[in-house]
Structure 1
């Protein structure tokens, strides 16, 4: 009976050692976590990356709310964070290859697993969002010309996605156009801010004609987000020019 006491003491002292060996799950980077959440909201995450299962009838509203909740993770993102997220989430052989190339250029492209890439349900939206985050990062660093050029390329990429989706709008496997409207609006807003920071009269004159055309196209496709943003940008430009 006396010899059993040390054994009990040894067992009790061994418990903390076992507790220290408990492994914690690796944390997911904020940008990737936000992108994965959007994929679930839009009905993605299926084994077939080309399959889309829309969980909501109004994806525009989903994107608007998601942009509000993801602002925290995007605000503190660095250039390396953006590159890492683009390399891991966007398929280089998919529809978002152009955006991925823009974001990952200059960085090392690791051999990411295909399972880590986003499905077609959210890849375009995340691509546009990451480009806008990169534009904001350049803006904060006072690299206005680089930010303007990237915003312009982002607009072209989003418009290409909208045009492609419009062609196959009757197909169940085609992507939605309305889910890209809030992101296109965001990109137009960023481009206007960059143009204002550059303060180039020739550039401003070119953008006025471009925004007028873009507003007409947004009205035709019933894109209220882009319409409102462009109108506000045009009014701001007129007020600055005292016209």
Structure 2
């Protein structure tokens, strides 16, 4: 099944939804050989952008997502979301605005809880903790409607403990949970990499559908060149903690796998030459 391409959305002249400016992060700073994981990263996403980030291991992709999600504070630079500076806002307080699907299907769900209980928790993400959300018939019908397009039969297993699901089913559930609270920004951290090809395609198609249906802004990390070329309206290439390429529109639409390989080679050569 061919990956669906998110159509390019017309962008207005307003401010970006996400603005990353001068972001720097070095792990093990002060130690011999310490190198920056992020080296002055600037990135802006307009509302409705679906940007795909590629790069080799150690390029800084996951560090960028971790910084945006609030897993740690950057050494320098700012992160602004919808006009609000969130650089020093703890990750748990960003949960109502930024949600994430991880590479490991086990991370995004509570194994001991049922499917419907996981969805109920996700629905309340970022809101004040109160008494348990009532799981009435109307809410269960809503959950079934959310799960049915996955075509994995989860809509008929709401009371099944998540521990009994396959990795692919858990990842698909994680995706639905991530958009239950209608976040401002969806982060996808190689979320299909640990799945078999068929299940990965199902989860990827579900991703494209929920992003489109909810009009979300998304930032996805992948090593899959086909996904990078065919998905989203922006492509960002990182290397050595820096953004080396950021293209969109017709330029991205015309990109081929050979082009992408060539750009990887050129940027690596430039890095080695010190340009």
User: Same fold judged by TM-score > 0.5?
Assistant: no
Higher Cα radius of gyration: 1
Higher helix fraction: Structure 1 or Structure 2?
1
Length-normalised TM-score, structure 1: 0.28
- Given the two structures, how large is their TM-score scaled by the length of structure 2? 0.26
Higher relative contact order (CA 8 A, sep 6+): 2
